[in-house]
Amino acid sequence: MADATNQEVQFIDDLENATEFQLKHTPSVQITGPIINVSIGLQGLSHPQTEEHFIEYIALLAGNKLVEKIEFDFEQAPVAVFALPDTDETLVVQALCNLHGLFGAYV
Ligand SMILES: [Fe+2]
């Protein structure tokens, strides 16, 4: 399996003009106190989670360093809960779709 750090990460640069494809793959990040909650999909859209097409993992990175990675199979809902790290590094959440690659969102 590809690691979180060795393939190109797709970010939405312009949310107003984002495609349905981008919106379905991009992590939705919500911070509540010391907790980061992540699901996949923005603006009411969600990614499929089937045997043929699913989110393989959701990862939290600080700078370029992996903090935590949670893996899923197609029968598991791709949601993740992380502890908010105490760091000055830029936090990024990445999600890997088995067909479409790696998608990111800044925390
Ligand atoms: Fe996909």
Tens of pLDDT along 5-23? 567 999 999 999 999 999 9
Residue 22 half-sphere exposure, CB side, CA atoms within 13 Å?
13
Q: Assess whether pLDDT exceeds 60 at residue 3.
A: no
pLDDT of residue 62: 97
Domain contains 2: no
Q: Assess whether pLDDT exceeds 80 at residue 91.
A: yes
Domain contains 3: no
Ligand 1 centroid to residue 92 C-alpha, Å: 19
Ligand 1 centroid to residue 85 C-alpha, Å: 28
pLDDT of residue 1: 43
Ligand 1 centroid to residue 100 C-alpha, Å: 5
For the entire predicted model, the pTM comes to 0.92
pLDDT of residue 2: 47
Residue span of the structural domain in which 98 resides: 9-106
Domain count, the chain: 1
Nearest to 92, CA basis, from 69, 72, 64: 64
Domain contains 4: no
Ligand 1 centroid to residue 57 C-alpha, Å: 12
Tens of pLDDT along 30-74? 999 999 999 999 999 999 999 999 999 999 999 989 999 999 999
CATH number, domain at 23? 2.60.40.730
Ligand 1 centroid to residue 86 C-alpha, Å: 31
